[in-house]
Amino acid sequence: MNVIDSKPYEMLIDGRWQAGREGLVFDTLNPSTAKLLAQVHQADAADVDAAVQAAHSAFENGWGRTTPAERGRLLRRLAVLFERDREKLAWIETLNVGKPITHSLESLKTMPSSLEYFAGMIPAVRGETIAVGNSDVLNYTIREPLGVCALIMPWNYPMTLTINKLGPALAAGNTIVLKPSEVTPLSTLALARLFEEAGFPPGVVNVVNGPGATVGEQLVTHPLVSRVSFTGGSVTGARILASTANDLKRVTLELGGKSPLIVFDDAALDKAVAVAAGDIIKNSGQVCIACTRILVQETILDDFLERLQRRLRAVRVGTPEATDTDMGPLVSAEQKQRVEHYIRLATEEGAKPVSFGDVVLDDNTAPGFFMPPTLLLRSSAQMQSAQDEIFGPVQSVISFKDEDDALGIANHSRYGLAAVVFTRDGGLALRMARGLQSGSVAINTGVRTSFDAPFGGYKLSGIGKERGLEAIYENTQLKNIKYDMSV
C-alpha cells in the first residue's frame, strides 16, 4: 500500500497547509531499513507564533463559545473519518515507527470509540450548586475552557496518544497547537488532514513540526499558550515544567516508567508469563507502561523462567509488514545504541543477559534497528539497569522472598507509572494494590490503558491525568460564582 507522500510534509496553520518560513526540512526514516521514508517541513519561531496566534484567534472568535452539541458533532464526524482511513493510518505508523502492521491495526481499533466517548462526555462537564453559610447567596461553579493548548507528542505511539490528547482538549472547548515527534511525525500529519473534512473551523487545530529543543521550547514558553500536555521522558518533562513556571501554565506530564510485574507463588503462571512476554514484545518494549522489572517469588523462579524463556524463543523478529511478525525494529539507531549500552551495563553490574527469538532479516531489513528480546537474569533492585528506563525489549528479572520484600523492591524506583500483581489471594492482592506507589495497578491481568479510565503516574512518572472524564477536567478552569439574591 503506497501511503507515504513523495513531497515533503507541510504544517497546518490556521487551516492552511504550508512550508516553514525558512524553507527547512528534516528527514524521517523507516526503522526497518534505516533508509529515508519522507521529508518534513520544519517550523521556526515565526511559524510557531503564527500557529499559536491562529489558535488564540479561533478560540476568542467563536470556538471557545461553541455549544456542547456542536463540539460533539464534530468529534463524532472525525471518528467516522478516522474509521474510514484507519488502515491507511496504521500502515503509515508501521512504516514510520516500525511496529508490526498487526499491532498498528489493533492499537488504532479503539480510536474512533475514543473520539465518540469524549464527544459523549461533554454534557457531563458541569459545575455544582454549593450551599454556603449565607442563605441570601447563591453559590455555584462552572467549568470553562482554558484557551490554547500545546500538545507535544512522543514517537512510540503517535496516533493513539494524539487522539487521547486531542479528544478531551477539543471536548472542553480549547484550541490546539500540536507538535508531533520529529522522529515519527507522519501518521499525526495524516490525521490532521481529516480536521478540515470533519468541519473544524480554521485555527482550531494547528500542527507544527520540528525538534523539541527549538520548536517545542518556543511552543511551551509562548505567552498565549494556557496549557501544555507532554508525553515523553522525565528529563524533558522536568525541563518543560521549569520553562512554564514563570507564567504558571497548566501542565500535564505523562512521563517514564519502570513498572514491576510481581508474581507470587500461588499465581496463574501461564497467564503471568503471557503478560511478561507481551510487555517485552509489544512495540519492541518501547512502551512507557511496560513491565520491565519482573519480580518473581524465589520458590517459583525456575518454573516461571522456564515458561517465559520457552515463550520468548518462539518470538519472530522481522519486517513489520509481514503478518506473522511478532516484533519489529527499534525506532532509531540512537534508541538501539541506548538499549545496547544498558545491556553492557547490566553485565558489568553482575546480571546475566540472555537473548531470545528468531530474528528474520533480508537484504532490505539487515541495516534496520532490530534487536531480540533480552532478559537480564540475576538482577537486583539496586542495579542501574533495573532502575533506569531503558525503553527497549529488555526486562530485569529479580527474585523476592515474601510480601514485604516484594513491596519494598517494587517501590524502590524513581518511577511510579504502573504495576501488575499476580496472586490468587484476594487480601494479598488488595494490600499490594494499596501499598504500591503507582498510578495504575492491574491484578491478574496486564496494564492496558483505556480511553474511558484515568491514567497518570506517581513520582517521576508524571503530573495530572489523561483519558477518562478527568482528562476533560484537566482541560478546564473551575470558576466559583456568588450571587447575592437579597439585592
Label the pairing between strands 352-355 and 374-377.
antiparallel
Separation CA 392–CA 282 (nearest Å):
10
Is the Cβ–Cβ distance between 51 and 161 less than 8 Å?
Answer: no
Cell of 21: 518560513
Going by C-alpha positions, the residue among 408, 413, 412, 458 that lies closest to residue 432 is 408
Separation CA 395–CA 295 (nearest Å):
10
Q: Active-site residue 254, yes or no?
A: yes
Going by C-alpha positions, the residue among 411, 415, 373, 410 that lies closest to residue 394 is 373
Give the amino acid at 88.
Answer: K
The residue annotated as part of the active site, out of 10, 116, 254, 389, is 254
Separation CA 225–CA 406 (nearest Å):
43
Separation CA 55–CA 50 (nearest Å):
9
Beta strands in 405-475, from DSSP E residues, in sequence order = 415-416, 418-422, 440-443, 458-459, 462-463
CA dihedral 424, 451, 456, 419 (to 10 degrees): 20
Give me the DSSP letters along 315-376: -EEE-TTSTT-SB---S-HHHHHHHHHHHHHHHHHT-EEEE-SEEE--TTTTTS-----EEE
Active site residues: 254
